[in-house]
Amino acid sequence: MRHEEKALNRIAADMVVDHVGQLCTLHDPELVAGPRRGDGMASLGIVTDGALVIRDGRVLDCGPRDRVLADAVVGSSTELVDADGACVVPGWVDPHTHAVYGRTRQDEFERRIRGETYLEIAAAGGGIHASVADLRTRSQDDLIALTVKRLLELRSFGTTTIEIKSGYGLSFEDEVKMLRAARIASRVADMGAVLTCLAAHELPGEYRDRRGEYVALICEEILPTVAAEHLAERLDVFCEPTVFDLEETETILRTGLDLGLRACVHADELASFGGAALAARLGADSADHLIRIDADGISALAASDTVAVLLPGTVFTLGLQKYAPARELIAAGCAVALATDYNPGSSPVPSMPLIQSIACTQMRMSPAEALVAVTLNAAWALGRAHDVGSLAPGKQADFLILDADDYRLVAYHAGRNPVAAVYREGRRLNS
């Protein structure tokens, strides 16, 4: 046995990434397992002059280059990548998107600039309703083609794992069509994907006077099929006074949880409504948005494993002034993650680097906190922290070589793409 183990360890590495000027591993053996909170949110596990050894798509070793290279088994088949002093970080994990949709909604963008609000446009049949009407006319193949193109754009900004929600179908057939399209598109685009059923994104127009019947359709038909056919692994509800109230949200979430799905909630975005506290009480993966979260919501999240997923691209795009209270959430001990909320209405923002910039300048997160929020904490929010979100032995070799020698340059250069090379499971994805 010992002999065999030794022989196994002599197998040459598939790849060695050398001359990493600043290796942000996000790995900190001193910290307890779980999402980062408080001061831990700024701990990046930085190695200066590092190297990374990869085998079978996973990190075999990483750390100071002298030690790592001395231990590495390099053979004729080992690919050597010279990072030339650059900064290397884990691939971004984007834990909240609506990446499957048909047409874009720049008409509403212009109307908002002229003074109409998101809710006024929604009440007049725009907003989510406009995307639903459009999506229902599209074939699954059409949606796959559109989504692949969009995912490749998100990937070019460094996203290697993405959450994708349904929610523009709002009927049995169209929700299933969206989830199937999301699955196929993420495979074609070579991205790690976590799919979420958001049939409770809005009340479809045809159910306007029959709310209970739509909740029943979700609970009795859509979610059971989603769970039985593994079309998604999670469910989400848009919990707001104007969409689904707390009671409806709890009914839908409990049904999904009982079916074995995990949960997340669009919570406390437009009104302080108690969605975050409900998410914490039900053990949801995350509570998302949180612009209007109150003190009770913050303490409920802080005392739970539910991650606070903040979506500053939405506030930015809608031209609002109030961002989620990131500093209060961090001070209270909540685990904070960041996402694009990529969607055709409130956040057509494909760039996780831009999200980090906005988080720093508008929510006063430090560049280090923002980096934790788009990697390790985002991975925890998706139940994927065992595989992605940090660079440590055994984890997937998903990493970015930056066109920068300091991670702070990611947030500093707002709007720039700082990603020189994207690797997923040890394979280079962009050229």
Q: Give the C-alpha separation, 382 to 327, whole Å.
A: 22
Q: Shortest gap between Cβ of 427 and ligand NIG (angstroms)?
A: 31
What tokens appear for 357 in the block?
């910039």
Q: Between 98 and 155, name the residue whose CB sits nearer to ligand NIG.
A: 98
Does position 129 bind ligand NIG by CB under 6 A? no
* 314 contacts ligand NIG (rule: CB under 6 A): yes
Which token pair is 60?
Answer: 């075999």
Q: Is 341 in the site for Fe ion (CB under 5 A)?
A: yes
Are the C-beta atoms of residues 91 and 159 closer than 8 Å to each other? yes
What span, in angstroms and rounded, lies between the C-alpha atoms of 314 and 96?
12
Q: Which two tokens stand for residue 18?
A: 């050398």
Place of tokens 């359709």: 217
> Least CB distance from residue 107 to ligand NIG, whole Å?
13
Report in angstroms how near the CB of residue 132 gets to ligand NIG at its nearest.
Answer: 9
Asked if 61 is part of the footprint of Fe ion (rule: CB under 5 A), the reply reads no
CB 270 within 8 A of CB 292: yes
Give the residue, chosen from 43, 160, 346, 377, that forms a contact with ligand NIG under the rule CB under 6 A: 346
Cβ 46 vs Cβ 24: under 8 Å: yes
| Nearest-approach distance from CB 322 to ligand NIG, in angstroms | 15
198 within 8 A of 238, measured Cβ to Cβ: yes
Residue list 97-126, contact with ligand NIG (CB under 6 A):
98
Rounded (to 5) percent helix, strand, coil in the chain:
40, 20, 40
Contact 55, 11 (CB under 8 A): yes
Among 160, 343, 377, 396, binds ligand NIG (CB under 6 A): 343
User: Among the candidate windows 33-41, 209-217, 333-341, 410-418, which touches Fe ion by CB under 5 A?
Assistant: 333-341
- The reply on whether position 256 binds ligand NIG by CB under 6 A is no
Q: Which is nearer to ligand NIG, 52 or 291 (CB)?
A: 291
Which of the choices ligand NIG, Fe ion, none does residue 127 contact, using the CB cut-off of 5 to 8 A by kind? ligand NIG
Q: Which residues contact 201 (CB under 8 A, 6 or more apart)?
A: 128, 165, 166, 167, 168, 170, 236, 238, 243
Among the listed residues 266, 292, 384, 424, the single contact to ligand NIG using CB under 6 A: 266
Closest CB to ligand NIG among residues 24, 197? 197
Determine the size of the site formed for ligand NIG (CB under 6 A). 13
Ranked by CB distance to Fe ion, the top (closest) residue is 341
Give the Å distances, CA to CA, from 220 to 209, 212, 215, 217, 223: 19, 12, 8, 5, 7
Would you give the binding string for ligand NIG spanning residues 130-169, x where CB under 6 A is met? -x--------------------------------------
Could you list the residues that contact ligand NIG (CB under 6 A)? Answer: 98, 127-128, 131, 238, 266, 269, 314, 341, 343-346
